[in-house]
Structure 1
């Protein structure tokens, strides 16, 4: 049995806990070094093949040093060793560029030797290629490699497939690449296959598969599905180590989300605190950040949640500022801004989400409801429901539609809207979506749940909603926001007009509206208020 340092890292950037992990055989590193020392590169390649994941989990323990003496002309013909060397360099930030060169070299070597590379080696290479591209943010290439690896696996006879080391882990890597590439259904299928390949005897592999299945379902709002996988993950053959280190990240997220659906923030925090990882390198950081923020939101600490998200993003450096990252976290940020009473800031945050996304429409509908614009809330909630790709977004849209419908006196849609919402909540196990309504709307929806025979569901909801809203603020139009942003960059109306290709009179008209709505009298004051309300993004 080997004790692993907390600084150890897998090719996915996950960090292992300071606890015994019996599946890791560190002797493979010394055997690899010995084979290279005597120039037996074929033996080194065989060790890499047979101990692929032991080496991948030992990258900080001399793998690069063991492989570096191999001459370049020998490496060019051994893609497995090239990929392993690239992985070894990738775990050190200052050497990641070098690691990427080896990744690329391994890919080209494997393609040029396509007819001479074993199919089992091809699977390992494609799985590692997929993980490598995923880690550096090239999700399209990552998905393509993952699909190729799955195709290669399916083409293998059962005997050969069974000879691949740690097959459940390969499925876990491929499923993770598909998930982060937006192919959720394919990812779930892949994790199911990985779970099916988990051995029934000896040290259990494949925990990542059951953890990802639980976490993805919980985040998507399929709470009952998540609970079924959690039931499996909580007991044998899985271990506490697996539940706390990198492989258990989505298990802990699932436990936290399920606890939040019961409004149990203490249990949710306990599961998040049980994670053992390096926040600077863990690839699942966005899911962790969003879940932590939701816990703070349900706990009535929206400001703390927003500060925590900002700190996490700052810790990730450039990755935390990427448009895709900002977009993926915008929905939660918008909720936090609403909880702080700023519909304007909440609306501005939503602008980073693609216009066609259901989450953007659901957020816009919630903001419209908070502003008293129930017509717009009805429209946007219905668009969100039509485009929803998850049960959670569908339930949030249904809750907003029900609330907006209740505002329309004599509407015949009252009962159908309430029943649709109630049945969605009961069938999925969610409770949070209905609590994210303005207080008056929440009270009205709860009363109608009781009226139409859903009193048991009503009793599971808290007395007060999670979000509270101040009086509606004056809202800047898209054109006014554009002019306000230009006012920050240009000192005169003429230069603003030139930059935006508008007439001077049009700019003056927009400026008057901006001053009136923000209740200011000068350009500097307007920009200051815009930054304070997060209508503009500070460049400092």
Structure 2
């Protein structure tokens, strides 16, 4: 019957032409109609506009995975064309050339494209006459407007013969035909040739993926509204896969809490899983299904790694075929692949059901293969997933990666990973990792106990060939790093030097390539050593180590130690009195890690403390407080002595600047115990105490505090001179200042104070010209640094000098504002800060309270109140109560 009907068609007899295929069966009209779009379909203009280019190129390929939305996209595009389109949905039955071309011809006729009567339907389903194809191509080439032919599900047509015939017609039809292939696989046509000639329009899987903005609109079409971060998370999880998003949205609509469902749905127990298992997994052979299930535990894979998990050797062709067929296997290049994230998630759930207990073993096999192949980060991840902590910690420590727990992009990830390591894991390596975690949290006692236990075990340990590690040298070098950190936290320079020496010896025993892979280890060692030297007051030795650390290569891996080193170098400059240098280094320290999106444990914090110190010296007190507030809750408040001490000193100086002497004295000593006292910490604590005593008119007490500090601290020598001058001993003050070296490390923050002290002594000696000259010298030096505090702390004597014509221009704009005041009515340009108790007395003075009333109200003696009043008068440069109140109001002290 079939052959009879075919014969009738070839002879042109009968009325059945175009209504039956070569097998004698009626043509299925549904195969010639584009599918209807659902009401929740989202038209994506960027893709439709891209498809418009199909009108200009002979060939268009829309190539994507199952459910990628490619068919509906083309259907939407076709619906918007003001011209007929021949649509043909292929079927597995179309593997025979005669059958395939019969349907193509019928699609053309159904769309209104005239096909000459001599182009009859092929009589034989298994073959097609070459003449028929030539006539068809000739007919199409003569058209004024090209015929648009869409072949949907073209991946079902796998016969190479059909691909050759289709390419023949397309090539010879010329501008008369526009062929659009909708397929899951790369078509057998010579696509590369069309691409090279610019005759190809392509839309592939990546372009078909929904963007977060498109996904948000799609969810709204389903009646769902999610915050932007929720939509972004869903797109990441589904990879923007159209069917996955639609199925999730449909399921979420049935949930009482749609937002929570979309955030927490179990992929393995969802309609998405049913779709992928049916459309992708179950269509594969048993061998391919087994491979997919086993490699689902991997973030990425290559054929050799897949073979290690399957114990077979056929992974390479299977993976290549899966990728070619868009079976949710993405090609990363260089023979590496990865599974679509949602597909992998579903496969893992399916693996647990089908092969319970196999997943840890797969992780274990993967970890060992990855370690042998040199992929340490993935080795650690799979070793931890397998629960094999001795192996994981061993690979981590012997891979010289211990520094990554303190710096780099993976620091938080590794800390979380090793936090899952239970107490049952016991080995030298696990002790080293636990010690690193303890020390990173500044738990010095526990960290040292575990570190020493690990070192004792390593001393007696014999390398285990089964673990594929290079031996104990890398582990001992890791221990040296931790010893240096412990020394830094303990403030022990001797211990730090020993750790550095041990590290230097061990560096020669570790493979050079291994050291090259982990530049953060040396950068951290140098930073710890430099910090400990700084604590000991060995500034130049500290500068050598810290400068080397700041210059280490390594990008993100060394960004935090570089930042810490710059912060410490900035502190050295500040302690030496060089504000500008300190500020520049501190600002540089806060930018490097930000460039890599890192947040350091203390590097940027110590830089902020230095910036706060500079702000105090410039009398930018609110700015200083804001910078200090940014460091609250950081490691500064715990065991690291250098930044903790620096912060406490800056806080004390800020409180002094605000007249809160008692609070300043309470803040000056941080609660950090160290093995060795720091000379600069002691000196600056004495400076705060001395300044507090001077503010409360106790110069002898101020001088006594400074006598306990070694005389090699320039800032302390200057402060001691100020105390002697306040006590009425100018000769002693000048003698102290003469001891300062003419040249040395002291910067403007020290030398300006020294110059002002000499100026005050000259003024009190009756030499205003010399005093003015010295103040001018101080102004010139301070202006470059915007150094204001020395002038504010100098006392009332300096106001008249600053009001003079020669000096006022030097102060205007940065220290004072407005025009120069007249000598007879000097403006209140600067004032020595009142102490907290003096402010209490001044407030009661403004309330017209008597001396006795003030004493009773403050619970002090009348003589104490009189002493405070004298100090208030002196600082405000007045002689009577009403003048003191008026001047205080002018200065906004009341």
How does the TM-score come out when normalised to structure 2? 0.41
Note the C-alpha offset of 1:132.
0.4
Q: For residue 664 of structure 2, what is the aligned residue in structure 1?
A: 305
Cα distance in 1 for partners of 2:796, 2:600 equals 38
Q: For residue 654 of structure 2, what is the aligned residue in structure 1?
A: 295
SS at match of 2:787: coil
Note the C-alpha offset of 1:366.
1.3
Note the C-alpha offset of 1:371.
1.5
Cα distance in 2 for partners of 1:373, 1:154 equals 61
SS at match of 1:182: coil
Structure 2: which 5+ runs fail to align? 1-376, 462-469, 817-828, 837-863, 865-894
Residues 175-215 of structure 1: per-residue CA shift (max 9 Å, x gap): 32222232223333433333333545799543223333334
Cα distance in 2 for partners of 1:146, 1:328 equals 29
Q: For residue 739 of structure 2, what is the aligned residue in structure 1?
A: 383
Q: Aligned pair 1:464/2:830, yes or no? A: yes
Q: For residue 498 of structure 1, what is the aligned residue in structure 2?
A: none
Match of 2:448 among 75, 82, 100: 100
Contact 2:612 2:624 in 1 (8 A): yes
Note the C-alpha offset of 1:123.
5.1
Contact 1:337 1:346 in 2 (8 A): yes
Residues 208-262 of structure 1: per-residue CA shift (max 9 Å, x gap): 2333333433343222213323443455762698678522112211221232233
Cα distance in 2 for partners of 1:151, 1:423 equals 51
Cα distance in 2 for partners of 1:219, 1:376 equals 25
Q: For residue 86 of structure 1, what is the aligned residue in structure 2?
A: 435
Q: For residue 369 of structure 2, what is the aligned residue in structure 1?
A: none
Aligned residues: 431
Contact 1:382 1:397 in 2 (8 A): no
Cα distance in 2 for partners of 1:194, 1:106 equals 27
Cα distance in 2 for partners of 1:155, 1:182 equals 33
Cα distance in 2 for partners of 1:181, 1:321 equals 7
* 1:98-177 superposed matches below 5 A: 98-104=446-452, 124-146=478-500, 149=503, 161-167=515-521, 168-177=523-532
Contact 2:652 2:667 in 1 (8 A): yes
Cα distance in 1 for partners of 2:717, 2:620 equals 28
Q: Aligned pair 1:354/2:710, yes or no? A: yes
Cα distance in 2 for partners of 1:154, 1:458 equals 61
Please say which of residues 235-244 and 431-440 is displaced more in the overlay. Answer: 235-244
Contact 1:435 1:466 in 2 (8 A): yes
Note the C-alpha offset of 1:329.
1.6
Check 1:117–1:467 CA distance in 2 against 1; reply closer, same or farther (3 A cut).
farther
Cα distance in 2 for partners of 1:182, 1:321 equals 11
Q: For residue 435 of structure 1, what is the aligned residue in structure 2?
A: 792
Q: For residue 515 of structure 1, what is the aligned residue in structure 2?
A: none
Check 1:42–1:288 CA distance in 2 against 1; reply closer, same or farther (3 A cut).
closer
Note the C-alpha offset of 1:137.
2.8
Q: For residue 754 of structure 2, what is the aligned residue in structure 1?
A: 397
Q: For residue 397 of structure 2, what is the aligned residue in structure 1?
A: 45
Q: For residue 277 of structure 1, what is the aligned residue in structure 2?
A: 634
Please say which of residues 150-159 and 186-195 is displaced more in the overlay. Answer: 150-159
Q: For residue 332 of structure 1, what is the aligned residue in structure 2?
A: 688
Contact 2:405 2:415 in 1 (8 A): no
Note the C-alpha offset of 1:365.
0.8
Greater relative CO (CA pairs within 8 A, separation 6+): 1
Q: For residue 576 of structure 2, what is the aligned residue in structure 1?
A: 220
Cα distance in 2 for partners of 1:347, 1:387 equals 25
How does the TM-score come out when normalised to structure 1? 0.64
Cα distance in 2 for partners of 1:89, 1:129 equals 12
* 1:504-515 superposed matches below 5 A: none
Cα distance in 1 for partners of 2:505, 2:395 equals 28
Check 1:154–1:395 CA distance in 2 against 1; reply closer, same or farther (3 A cut).
farther
Q: Aligned pair 1:246/2:602, yes or no? A: yes
Contact 2:484 2:496 in 1 (8 A): yes
SS at match of 2:794: coil
SS at match of 1:363: helix
Question: Which is richer in helix?
Answer: 1
SS at match of 2:594: coil
Contact 1:133 1:141 in 2 (8 A): yes
Note the C-alpha offset of 1:288.
0.5
Structure 1: which 5+ runs fail to align? 1-24, 471-528, 530-540
Check 1:34–1:52 CA distance in 2 against 1; reply closer, same or farther (3 A cut).
farther
Q: For residue 538 of structure 2, what is the aligned residue in structure 1?
A: 183
Cα distance in 2 for partners of 1:88, 1:139 equals 22
Check 1:397–1:159 CA distance in 2 against 1; reply closer, same or farther (3 A cut).
farther
Residues 129-175 of structure 1: per-residue CA shift (max 9 Å, x gap): 12201212323322453466578779999866532252544443333
Cα distance in 2 for partners of 1:445, 1:124 equals 61
Cα distance in 1 for partners of 2:393, 2:510 equals 26
Note the C-alpha offset of 1:296.
1.9
Q: For residue 345 of structure 1, what is the aligned residue in structure 2?
A: 701
Check 1:203–1:97 CA distance in 2 against 1; reply closer, same or farther (3 A cut).
closer
Contact 1:338 1:346 in 2 (8 A): yes
Residues 96-122 of structure 1: per-residue CA shift (max 9 Å, x gap): 545334444566788999xx9777666
Check 1:50–1:396 CA distance in 2 against 1; reply closer, same or farther (3 A cut).
same
Q: Aligned pair 1:425/2:776, yes or no? A: no
Q: For residue 229 of structure 1, what is the aligned residue in structure 2?
A: 585
SS at match of 1:353: coil
Residues 375-409 of structure 1: per-residue CA shift (max 9 Å, x gap): 11111122245696432334433332332233333
